[in-house]
């Protein structure tokens, strides 16, 4: 079932271009040039129930803007958004009942209260029956390990603890869709791992659809099966992660250790990246040649002592996509 549908969604901002200097500041009082900036330039996609989608792109690509439009915070300039068949702008209250939203850079917890008190308020806002509330909370406490800090005021929590609290607050009403905007920003390895485990667990148990933005590609690799890449307001890639990686990261890296120092290599099947004494780094197109062919060819002119081959990874793929767009 298609749970999220975006059709040709555009978001325009009007930005006033300010003139520089004191004279410019005076001139701005009377007239400043207005420029239209298209943060999102007509994107379309469809997301099924239960998918975990990595929504990635460089800073300012339009990720957060899209998430804010999908969650009813902002209105698109044109185009259509449907969540469960309803527009989050026209029927906001009905749509957001089934959404959970976490912004890594913002908090929705009460600064001076214990976590438990924020949960009690949310219970009333979402009108959760006692049984359901207690059951979900019990589950969240166990999976997120909330017990160790349930009774500490939120302002005294560490970032990792707070983020676990945020996730619990977003999941309390068992939303069908979870929007996570950089949920692991600034967290240490353990905290990141806890959050990843949690997301997978919720997806497995409740079939929660997850839309995740992150600059940490490990999050994306460990969690997502599908990747949507946005750059400069346009979706440039959309598909299974493995497919994108193998298509976009066409090169494998070969690191050689040779018996005698070399200056250059004649073989035209590889591209030399770096030579340091007896160590040579070169890359080759793994769609054109196999590693064995390359090693054989290089073996003709070099005395290879040791070698290793590095697989292309998502980081290479993403770097390629960002730069080619």
Partner 1 sequence: MLKAVKHYLEVLRYSAVIGLKCEMEYLSYTLCWLLMIPIQIFSGVYVLKVIMDRIGTLNGWSFGQVAFLYGLGVFSHGLQDLFFIQTRHIEYSVIRGEFDRFLVRPLGVFFQFCIGTVNLVGIYDLIPGAIIFAYGCVQVNFQWSIPNILMLIMVVIGGTLIQAAIYTLTGSVAFWTKKSSVFVGVNLQLFDKTTQWPMSIYPNWFIRIFSFLIPMGFVSFYPACGLLGISSGVSFPLPLEIPLWTPLVGLAWFLLARRFFYLGLEKKYESAGS
Q: Which is nearer to partner 1, 79 or 153 (CB)?
A: 153
- The sign of the dihedral angle between the CA atoms of 66, 71, 75, 81 is positive
Tally: H helices and E strands in the chain: 11, 13
Q: Smallest distance, Å, CB 200 to partner 1?
A: 23
Q: Where are the beta strands (DSSP E) in 209-310?
A: 209-213, 226-231, 234-240, 251-258, 271-276, 279-285, 304-310
Q: Which is nearer to partner 1, 105 or 324 (CB)?
A: 105
> What is the spatial distance between Cα 135 and Cα 177, in angstroms, rounded to a whole number?
19
Q: Give the number of other CB atoms < 10 A from CB of residue 93.
A: 7
For position 223 contacting partner 1 by CB under 8 A, the verdict is: no
Q: Which is nearer to partner 1, 127 or 303 (CB)?
A: 127
Site string for partner 1, 4-23 (x = CB under 8 A): ---------x----------
DSSP structure string for 228-254: EEEETTEEEEEEEHHHHHHHH--EEEE
In the list 17, 31, 34, 124, the residue contacting partner 1 (rule: CB under 8 A) is: 124
Q: Smallest distance, Å, CB 268 to partner 1?
A: 45
Q: Which is nearer to partner 1, 103 or 284 (CB)?
A: 103
Q: Which is nearer to partner 1, 87 or 193 (CB)?
A: 87
Strand (E) or helix (H) holding 117? helix 115-125
In the list 25, 26, 35, 121, the residue contacting partner 1 (rule: CB under 8 A) is: 121
Q: Smallest distance, Å, CB 66 to partner 1?
A: 11
For position 113 contacting partner 1 by CB under 8 A, the verdict is: yes
Q: Which is nearer to partner 1, 149 or 284 (CB)?
A: 149
Encode 251-281: b = buried (16+ Cβ within 10 Å), e = exposed.
bbebebebeeebeebeeeebeeeebeeeebb
Q: Smallest distance, Å, CB 31 to partner 1?
A: 17
Q: Give the number of other CB atoms < 10 A from CB of residue 26.
A: 10
Q: Let me know: does 114 contact 149? Beta carbons within 8 Å.
A: no
Residue 59 carries which DSSP code? Answer: T
Q: Looking only at residues 47 through 106 of this chain, which bind partner 1 when binding is defined by CB under 8 A?
A: 59, 63-64, 68, 71-75, 92-94, 96-97, 99, 101, 103, 105-106
In the list 4, 43, 167, 182, the residue contacting partner 1 (rule: CB under 8 A) is: 182
CA angle 224, 104, 9 (to 5 degrees): 65
For position 110 contacting partner 1 by CB under 8 A, the verdict is: yes
Stretch that binds partner 1, among 76-84, 117-125, 200-208, 239-247 (CB under 8 A): 117-125
Q: What are 198-201's contacts with CB under 8 Å, separation 24+?
A: 198/143, 198/144, 198/164, 198/167, 199/52, 199/223, 200/52, 201/143
**Residues in contact with partner 1, total (CB under 8 A)?**
34
In the list 7, 12, 120, 201, the residue contacting partner 1 (rule: CB under 8 A) is: 120
Residues that bind partner 1 (CB under 8 A): 13, 59, 63-64, 68, 71-75, 92-94, 96-97, 99, 101, 103, 105-106, 108, 110, 112-113, 117, 120-121, 124-127, 153, 181-182
């Amino acid at each position: 079932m298609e749970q999220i549908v975006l059709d040709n969604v555009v978001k325009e901002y009007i930005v006033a271009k300010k003139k520089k200097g004191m004279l410019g500041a005076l001139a701005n009082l009377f007239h400043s040039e207005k420029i239209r900036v298209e943060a999102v330039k007509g994107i379309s996609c469809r997301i099924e129930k239960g998918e975990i989608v990595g929504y990635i792109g460089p800073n300012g690509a339009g990720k957060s803007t899209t998430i804010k439009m999908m969650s009813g915070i902002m209105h698109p300039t044109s185009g259509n958004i449907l969540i469960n068949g309803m527009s989050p702008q026209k029927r906001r209250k009905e749509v957001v009942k089934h959404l959970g939203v976490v912004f890594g850079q913002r908090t929705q917890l009460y600064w001076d209260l214990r976590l438990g008190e924020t949960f009690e308020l949310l219970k009333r806002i979402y009108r959760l029956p006692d049984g359901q509330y207690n059951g979900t909370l019990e589950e969240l406490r166990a999976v997120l390990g909330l017990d160790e800090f349930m009774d500490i005021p939120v302002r005294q929590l560490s970032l990792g603890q707070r983020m676990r609290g945020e996730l619990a607050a977003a999941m309390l009403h068992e939303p069908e869709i979870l929007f996570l905007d950089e949920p692991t920003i600034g967290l240490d390895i353990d905290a990141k791992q806890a959050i990843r485990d949690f997301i997978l667990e919720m997806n497995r148990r409740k079939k929660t659809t997850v839309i995740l933005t992150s600059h940490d590609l490990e999050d994306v690799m460990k969690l997502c099966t599908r990747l949507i890449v946005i750059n400069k307001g346009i979706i440039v890639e959309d598909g299974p992660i493995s497919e994108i990686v193998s298509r976009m990261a066409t090169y494998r890296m070969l690191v050689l250790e040779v018996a005698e120092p070399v200056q250059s290599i004649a073989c035209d099947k590889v591209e030399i990246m770096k030579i340091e004494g007896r160590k040579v780094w070169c890359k080759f197109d793994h769609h054109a040649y196999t590693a064995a062919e390359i090693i054989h060819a290089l073996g003709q002119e070099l005395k290879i002592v040791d070698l290793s081959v590095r697989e292309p990874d998502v980081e290479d793929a993403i770097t390629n996509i960002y730069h080619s767009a």
